Amino acid sequence: MNDSECIFCKIAAGEIPATKILDENQVIAFMDIGPIIKGHVLVIPRDHYPDIISVPPDVLSALIVSARRVAAAQVKALNADGVNIIQNNGRSAGQLVPHFHIHVIPRFNDDGYHFNWNPGKYSSPEEMEKTAASIRSAL
Ligand code: AMP
Ligand code: ZN
């Protein structure tokens, strides 16, 4: 299941170059060409799924286990102090490549990078409860 227009499908098929660090049955991992921090890795399914909702649970399990392996390797080999696991779905969430991928980003105490994470607020406890009830009803 591949999309001939998809850059990550092409990487998975070996049609365009990538610096791979894992090449398994269901999962591939390679260096992000535009690292947030040097050592930034992308973990992707070999098959084309656009986002987390479309990835079958068994493939998703393999992906997160591989992401965990990569994170442990970054800590061991690069002496990372921490690791960010980030996964974007949809343009509104910052997803540029519509082939599911997990960002595994090594972090260092002195790397100087800051996410633009500004906590917001509900106008009332009722607003939060109403939003929660809506999500709950769709699970
Ligand atoms: P996202 O915004 O979550 O879709 O992230 C897409 C990521 O893919 C970005 O971090 C890019 O730097 C990375 N990327 C795009 N093209 C390539 C490529 N050919 N090889 C490696 N990484 C890539
Ligand atoms: Zn693809």
Question: Mean pLDDT, the chain, as a whole number?
Answer: 97
CA of 25 to the centre of ligand 2 (A): 16
Given pLDDT bands bounded at 50, 70 and 90, which one contains residue 9?
very high
pLDDT in the model for residue 1: 58
Domains assigned to the chain: 7-138 (3.30.428.10)
* pLDDT of 86 higher than 90: yes
- How many CB atoms are closer than 10 A to CB 94? 9
Q: Note whether 51 and 90 are within 8 A (CB).
A: yes
Q: Is 48 a catalytic residue?
A: no
Phi/psi for 31 (5° steps) reads -70, 135
Please name the residue that has the structure tokens 């999309």: 3
Q: Which of 40, 99, 101, 114 is catalytic?
A: 101
CB of residue 18 inside a 6 A radius of ligand 1: yes
DSSP states of 8-34 as a string?
HHHHHTTSS---EEEE-SSEEEEE-SS
pLDDT digits (tens, 9 = 90+) for 109-120: 999 999 999 999
Q: If you compute the radius of gyration of the chain from its CA atoms, what whole number of angstroms results? A: 17
Query: Does 88 contact ligand 1 (Cβ within 6 A)?
Result: yes
Compute the distance between CA of residue 69 and CA of residue 63 in angstroms, rounded to an integer: 10
Pocket test for ligand 1, best of 97, 99, 100, 105 (most atoms within 8 A of CB): 97
Q: What is the pTM of this model?
A: 0.96
Which ligand places an atom closest to the C-alpha of 97? 1
Ligand nearest to the CA of 46: 2
Query: What is the rounded distance in angstroms from the CA atom of residue 36 to the CA atom of residue 106?
Result: 9
Task: Give strand ranges (E) for 24-138.
Answer: 27-31, 41-45, 82-86, 102-107
Read off the pLDDT band of 4 (50, 70, 90): confident
Q: Is 94 in the pocket of ligand 1 (CB under 6 A)?
A: yes
- Span 57-69, pLDDT tens digits: 999 999 999 999 9
